[in-house]
Chain A
């Protein structure tokens, strides 16, 4: 096992104005699961793209199996035995599973033979998949299987996985880990990129940590704590979110029998959702993506009007009010999709701040916007939430995902909401910024606001929420105290199991 498969030495890559990687060197052994850790923008993606032949390094060399390895394109990398599962799935929704897999192969066999092989490999590795189905109809977990099987059919020697677990339920993560361990035992090396430090400790043999494009450490994850790894990534020590015990107050937001038909073919209908959100509490809503999260957010934010009487704020029926009416009453929301939903990509930060903040921040006078005041509000968001940007005038799309997320969350929080609804508040945000956002959510609740946090990151929900429920196919599970829950129970709630009702009823 000590034989080296891939040896990287002195790899550097610069883009105009940014150094993505500088002098990165490390080795991956045969059959090893090797973690690549780093904050957003630490250069993980660029490094991986160089190994996969999508980006050419400026300097440095790679050796694969003791032979010089400089793939000029992904095809060459694949031919050399390097396969990659992408973070944002690189699948074609309108094509079938088999067609998608055929596209990732050099010389695909005829369709019928390929379908048989897909069935065979997917059974072998415990990832059942039917080759005829359209990818557009598959769940996130199933789509990932398509990618993995596409890689496995090429008998790879190195499998690169970019944040594979961000879309999976705990049970699906277990299945994936079992598959990866089996592959590792078969001698396949795995380069595993993730933000989730506990996963890395459970799965990986070695970890290489990048910071600002440079390698800062190599460690054995089992021997160090998640906290230590996070500090190596960030370079400074930071605190996990702390909650101060607080009494929960009166009901702030009451949802009763909320049902909503899906607006699109691939959407999910909400079915008879009821819950009460109290002042001073954080209610966490978990569940796998696509089980009604977006629909719930749009019903609560006011983008979609619902049946009269289904949503009330402090006893007042707000079901028919639009987003601005609800904002005026103190219910604010931050949707998941940063570009295009939470923020208009081509408008400046000031304009984006004015779009949701105009009413509550008093930026309007007689229909005219008070731009100096809007700029002041924007600057407050930027300084209060450590948004890294050249200034308030830059377009929203020019910010990195994490920074834009901080801006979007900060913009709503500074408007002093009574009730805040957020969806995926720390999606794609690095560990330090995520910790800051979680802390801000807890502080908001401590100050008496009610927060509904929809997220697919279970660790996050367990960390910040007082009570927890899960969405499954548009239905909301029982809502239970977070402190009483085990991970198994959560998994069952997310899977829509009903034996919980009996257990806790």
Chain B
């Protein structure tokens, strides 16, 4: 065992990378749930985004186009969910579970022939001299665009929900859809938009796994990240800032346990592998002790009666 082989700067840098997929997916789901919709299909949308991004990036040799395709793919799949739950008034839990299964199957079908191929590398942003700063350079200024997109989304979503009219309407719809309808707001329209946004975020997060984090395609490669993202939203009490903390925690422990495995720590690999899930959930449970209520209309079907 050689713990000195673990470089703190590299560890922090890879923490940011490792937490990005779950951060993106959870932020999308946060917006969806704040509008009162429970979409359990995050995993399905992520893996669909992962394969859409992978296929387009490989065929066009352009990772940027890949990420755009992933966003569209995730949003397209979420549109199925939106149609089922908002127009056909289907049960949200069942529809979400079906969406996950459908996404896993669809991605597996689309991914045939792409196993073992390497995608084009995603370029890092050039910060010039900033990235040469000791410690801070490699940690903060050595990443690709998507990492910064994720961080920007945290503050954008926080500010939008707190300070803007559109955020207020979104929260109102999630809190009491009947009252929002009575005031003349378009409940279904707001929710469909939120669901599409959530799908796009999940798709982007998925593609980050297949194009950057693991750079290759294997069936079911999201490996439950979507489910952790879902749990993260709940335990983060539907707050963007806490989602970020949770994602970092998850990413950090994932990276740390990989490093520990590489360093040959005498803990069975299985325990190390499960540690990110266990510790993230534990910490979030403790954090959510303030009993912030869920959006009051969460998961309830809205039917515009007379």
Contacts and interface: CB of A to CB of B under 8 A. Distances in A.
Contacts of B175: 92-95
B306 A95 contact: no
Contact of B306 (A49, A53, A86, A103): A49
Interface in A62-96: 73-75, 78, 86, 89-95
B266 interface: no
Contacts of B184: 53, 73-75, 78
Which of B169, B175, B184 is the most central at the interface, judged by chain A CB atoms within 10 Å of its CB? B184
B143 interface: no
A75 B185 CA distance: 9
Interface string A33-55: 00000000000001001000111
Nearest to B292: A94
A55 B172 contact: no
Contacts of A74: 182-184
Contacts of B172: 92, 95, 103
A92 B293 CA distance: 13
B158 to A, nearest CB: 16
B168 A103 contact: yes
A108 interface: yes
A91 B179 contact: yes
A90 B182 CA distance: 7
B176 interface: yes
A92 B176 contact: yes
Contacts, number: 53
Nearest to B184: A74
Given A54-B306, A73-B184, A108 B176 contact: no
B148 to A, nearest CB: 30
B178 A93 contact: no
Contacts of A94: 171, 175, 293, 295-296
Interface in A394-412: none
A92 B306 contact: no
A368 interface: no
A49 B293 CA distance: 32
Contact of B176 (A46, A90, A104): A90
Contacts of A99: 168
Contact of A103 (B169, B178, B291, B295): B169
B303 to A, nearest CB: 13
Interface string B126-138: 0000000000000
Contact of A95 (B165, B171, B183, B185): B171
A102 B169 CA distance: 10
Which of B165, B183, B291, B306 is the most central at the interface, judged by chain A CB atoms within 10 Å of its CB? B183
B93 to A, nearest CB: 18
A103 B176 contact: no
B253 to A, nearest CB: 32
B189 to A, nearest CB: 13
A54 B179 CA distance: 12
Contacts of A91: 176, 179
B179 A92 contact: yes
A49 B144 CA distance: 54
B179 A46 contact: no
Contacts of A86: 179, 182
A89 B175 CA distance: 13
Contacts of B178: 90
A154 to B, nearest CB: 12
Nearest to B178: A90
Contacts of B182: 54, 74, 86, 90
A102 B179 contact: no
A92 B177 CA distance: 9
B165 A102 contact: yes
Contact of B183 (A49, A93, A103): A103
Nearest to A86: B182
Which of A46, A92, A93, A102 is the most central at the interface, judged by chain B CB atoms within 10 Å of its CB? A92
Contacts of B185: 103
Contacts of A89: 179
B169 to A, nearest CB: 7
Contacts of A102: 165, 168
A333 B165 CA distance: 46
B176 A93 contact: yes
Nearest to A265: B291
Nearest to B185: A103
A73 B185 CA distance: 9
Contacts of A90: 176, 178-179, 182-183
Interface string B111-124: 00000000000000
A29 B169 CA distance: 35
A15 B183 CA distance: 22
Q: When A and B form their complex, which 5 residue pairs have the shortest distance between CB atoms, in order from nearest? A: A74-B184, A90-B179, A92-B175, A75-B184, A90-B182
22 contacts: A15-B306, A53-B184, A54-B182, A73-B184, A74-B182, A74-B183, A78-B184, A89-B179, A90-B176, A90-B178, A90-B179, A90-B183, A92-B172, A92-B175, A92-B176, A94-B295, A94-B296, A99-B168, A102-B168, A103-B169, A103-B185, A108-B165
Interface of B: 165, 168-169, 171-172, 175-176, 178-180, 182-185, 291, 293, 295-296, 306
Given A75-B184, A103-B185, A265-B291, 14 more contacts: A15-B306, A53-B184, A73-B184, A74-B182, A86-B182, A90-B176, A90-B183, A91-B179, A92-B176, A93-B176, A95-B168, A95-B175, A99-B168, A103-B180
